[in-house]
């Protein structure tokens, strides 16, 4: 299981690689995550979100999914027998360079793109898996779209992550 560090500052700067630096405003990110969790009726004590570069994502994807390629987001659910993680929903690993590329391709902000990955990762932690079959894919997509719409209505336009 991956172990992620908790972030306790108001804002952090992340140097992802030599060309990509972002600022993450923790208070705004937390507000969005709490909204998502409440909307899904989930009240865990902890949820970890970690941002990474392509190399770390390839390594994690190979180690935990047996796929030797980069992806945008991975979710890690705690083992059921691990008493220490009983109130821990899980961990979400988000690859910022991939998100930046996807944001440019879809012509939306990095914040919107990463926010969608946060939603996607949390929905995976709730047990949904789009890779299982087309029906599961459609259910997950519908849930994520509804959640994004509700989040857009409830929260200001996301500016919690910006290019540095």
Pairwise CA distance, residues 74 & 26, whole Å: 20
Residue 32 has pLDDT above 50, yes or no: yes
For residue 141, the tally of other CB atoms under 10 A from its CB is 14
Q: Give mean pLDDT, residues 13-41.
A: 79
User: What percent of the chain shows pLDDT beyond 90?
Assistant: 34
Tens-digit pLDDT profile for residues 109-126: 888 899 999 999 999 998
* Tokens coding 29: 């990110």
Q: Is the pLDDT of residue 55 over 80?
A: yes
- Whether residue 1 is predicted with pLDDT greater than 70 in this model: the reply is no
- CATH architecture, domain 20-161: 3-Layer(aba) Sandwich (3.40)
Q: What is the predicted pLDDT for the residue at 47?
A: 85
- What DSSP line would sit under 64-116, residue for residue? HHS--S--SEEEEPPPTT-GGGTTEEEEEEEEHHHHHHHHHHHT--HHHHHHH
Q: What is the pLDDT of residues 58-71, one digit of tens each?
A: 999 999 889 999 99
Which of 101-110, 131-140, 148-157 holds the top average pLDDT? 101-110
Question: 81 or 85: which carries more pLDDT confidence?
Answer: 81
Please, are residues 72 and 94 in contact by the beta-carbon 8 Å criterion? yes
The answer for residues whose C-beta is within 8 angstroms of residue 69's C-beta and 6 or more apart is 58, 61
pLDDT at 84 over 70: no
Eight-state DSSP code of residue 109: -
What length does the chain have? Answer: 164
Q: Which two tokens stand for residue 121?
A: 């990762």
Tell me the sheet residues that pair with 75. 92
Cβ–Cβ < 8 Å for 111, 162: yes
Which of the residue ranges 5-9, 85-89, 129-133, 143-147 has the most confident prediction, judged by mean pLDDT?
Answer: 143-147
Domain ranges of the chain: 20-161
pLDDT at 87 exceeding the cut of 90: no
């Amino acid at each position: 299981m991956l172990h992620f560090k908790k972030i306790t500052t108001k804002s952090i700067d992340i140097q992802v690689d030599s060309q990509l630096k972002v600022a993450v405003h923790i208070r705004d990110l937390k507000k969005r995550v709490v909204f998502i969790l409440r909307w899904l009726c989930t009240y865990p004590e902890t949820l970890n979100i970690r941002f990474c570069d392509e190399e770390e994502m390839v390594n994690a994807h190979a180690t935990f999914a047996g796929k030797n390629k980069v992806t945008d987001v991975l979710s890690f659910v705690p083992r059921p027998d691990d008493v220490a993680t009983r109130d821990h929903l899980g961990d979400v690993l988000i690859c910022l360079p991939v998100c930046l590329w996807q944001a440019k391709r879809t012509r939306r902000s990095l914040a919107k793109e990463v926010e969608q990955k946060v939603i996607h990762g949390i929905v995976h932690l709730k047990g949904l898996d789009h890779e299982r079959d087309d029906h599961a894919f459609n259910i997950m997509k519908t849930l994520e779209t509804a959640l994004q719409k509700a989040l857009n209505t409830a929260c200001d336009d996301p500016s919690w992550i910006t290019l540095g």
